[in-house]
Amino acid sequence: MMSDRSHSSSDTASIGRMLPPSFVVGTATASAQIEGATRAGRRTASVWDRFSAEPGRIQDGTTTAVTADHYHRYREDVALMAELGADAYRFSLGWTRLQPEGRGPLDPGGVAFYDRLLDELHEAGISPFVTLTHWDLPAEYEQGWLDRDTAARLGELAALVGERFADRVDHWITLNEPATVTLNGYALGLHAPGRELTFDALPAVHHQLLGHGLAVQALRAAGADSVGITNVHSPVQPAGDGEEDALMAALFDIVHNRVFADPVLLGHYPEVPSELEELFGAFAGVPQEDLATIAQPLDFYGLNYYMPTKVAAGAGTGHSPDGTSEAMAGLPFRLEPFEEYPTTGFGWPIAPEYFGAALSEMQQRYGDVLPPVYITENGASFAEQPDESGRVQDTDRIDYLAGHLSTALAAVAPGGEAEGIDLRGYFVWSLMDNWEWAAGFTQRFGIVHVDFETGSRTPKASFQWLHDVMRARRMA
């Protein structure tokens, strides 16, 4: 049964009326966070399996072994999506479930699992949006994205899964958040594979983007109709009025936003202030043919938004939104809090107006070359638990989703600050509570509560709220 509605019908009705009839509303997950079944079939270790097994890496000491057990409970989860009335479901493929050695033919057991999942989605009338790799990488790739060969391996995986699934997948996403992979995984050591290279991590940027371009080519050759990429964008502002703060804010904007979007959409890496040029030497000798591969025409651009960033010059304590890093403490800038905003369970500022700013920046920077946009992730973690009656009244999440969705829709409407962007959909992160990377089970993003001891699912009040929003759209 759905949870009781905890927001007024006027909220759902007003937001529902803002949704264009063809606007896609769905939920999103990632394979490493929900599937579990690490020993099912021939699945071998991923970088996250190995990382989570290292003492001290995961906040609560948990691993990828079971997570939300979606591998065994996928039918139940698709039934929940159908109950929700979702138009689409964004999920990712487990690379080592499909290609256990990180190369070679697809494993029949892995193929069979995703065949069954796609069958369930199609039977329920839910459109599949499939991400090739969501922070997932075979552990056998010792250098990971620091190795150019990994880009070729992603292209090969794309060719294989495209040939197998292209006729049943409506939209493909090559990579999820290459910015987070680079910054947390290779620069700061907070995520798998745990490297702390700071600016020496920049080759991971280029190799991910090259892999994206090769994957686009392979998917199109296999008959894929719609292909894009997803990155997380954060509007950046200096903490003070001084030149040094402004320069460091520009630096963060470049490494978080522009080194990923500019090559994909404009065909070149961004120009940087002369004072910062030596930091970006990794891009100095990039072959032109690489840039041409990276800048493949896209059918859509996936934008994830969670929060803005405030930057000050000078070293700090090493704090980042995802934890504390010794490498972060050695950088020439620090991240400052937004004291004026409430925060999520992760301590992230809840600032929906910056969602409009993120969309506006995309419009201003990329204009006519920006393809249609999907918000491929937006959501918040809160530490709610079922009450005595078993209901999960997550009113903070409802407020978060209502504020962000309505802000995005208003921003792209006529007269809005991002007018001109063709915004086609919005995916809530996440369908269910999951294994939240280095935070383990300590953070809950789902609109469905998961009991991590029993695996039982309980739709939260936000589930009912989103259902009512979509119902209001259909009635408008």
Under DSSP, the state recorded for 46 is B
- Quick one: which H or E segment has residue 179? helix 178-180
* CATH number of the domain residue 448 falls in: 3.20.20.80
Averaged pLDDT, 273-297: 97
Where b means 16+ CB within 10 Å and e means fewer, 372-396 reads: ebbbbbbbbbbebeeeeeebbbbeb
Neighbours of 366 (CB within 10 A): 17
SS3 of residue 181 by DSSP = helix
Cα 368 to the center of its chain, rounded Å: 24
pLDDT of 11:
87
pLDDT band at 4 (very low <50, low <70, confident <90, very high): very low
pLDDT of 251:
98
Domain assignment present for 4: no
Structural domain count, the chain: 1
- Indicate the residue type of 42: R
CA–CA separation, 384 vs 380, rounded Å? 12
Averaged pLDDT, 274-280: 96
Domain assignment present for 321: yes
Domain assignment present for 3: no
Asked if 166 and 219 touch (Cβ cutoff 8 Å), the reply is yes
CA–CA separation, 94 vs 35, rounded Å? 9
Domain assignment present for 389: yes
CA–CA separation, 265 vs 258, rounded Å? 10
CA–CA separation, 276 vs 251, rounded Å? 8
The model carries a pTM of: 0.97
Domain assignment present for 85: yes
- Quick one: which H or E segment has residue 456? none
pLDDT in tens, 454-476: 999 999 999 999 999 999 987 76
CA–CA separation, 75 vs 118, rounded Å? 10
Residue 288, annotated as binding a ligand: no
Residue 429, annotated as binding a ligand: yes
Asked if 91 and 117 touch (Cβ cutoff 8 Å), the reply is yes
Domain assignment present for 135: yes
Domain assignment present for 2: no
Q: Which residue has the higher pLDDT, 261 or 44?
A: 261
Q: What amino acid positions are annotated as catalytic residues?
A: 177, 377
pLDDT in tens, 191-223: 999 999 999 999 999 999 999 999 999 999 999
Q: Which domain covers residue 124, as residue numbers? A: 9-475
Q: Which residue has the higher pLDDT, 374 or 101?
A: 374
Cross-strand pairs, 403: none
pLDDT in tens, 333-353: 999 999 999 999 999 999 999
Place of tokens 């009338």: 125
Averaged pLDDT, 261-265: 98
SS3 of residue 34 by DSSP = helix
Place of tokens 């790739």: 141
pLDDT of 2:
42
Residue 434, annotated as binding a ligand: no
The mean pLDDT value of the chain amounts to 95
Residue 437, annotated as binding a ligand: yes
Q: Which of 150, 171, 151, 133 is nearest to 32 (CA)?
A: 133
Domain assignment present for 127: yes
pLDDT of 476:
61
pLDDT of 63:
96
- Indicate the residue type of 5: R
pLDDT of 101:
85
Residue 134, annotated as binding a ligand: yes
pLDDT in tens, 105-155: 999 999 999 999 999 999 999 999 999 999 999 999 999 999 999 999 999
pLDDT band at 400 (very low <50, low <70, confident <90, very high): very high
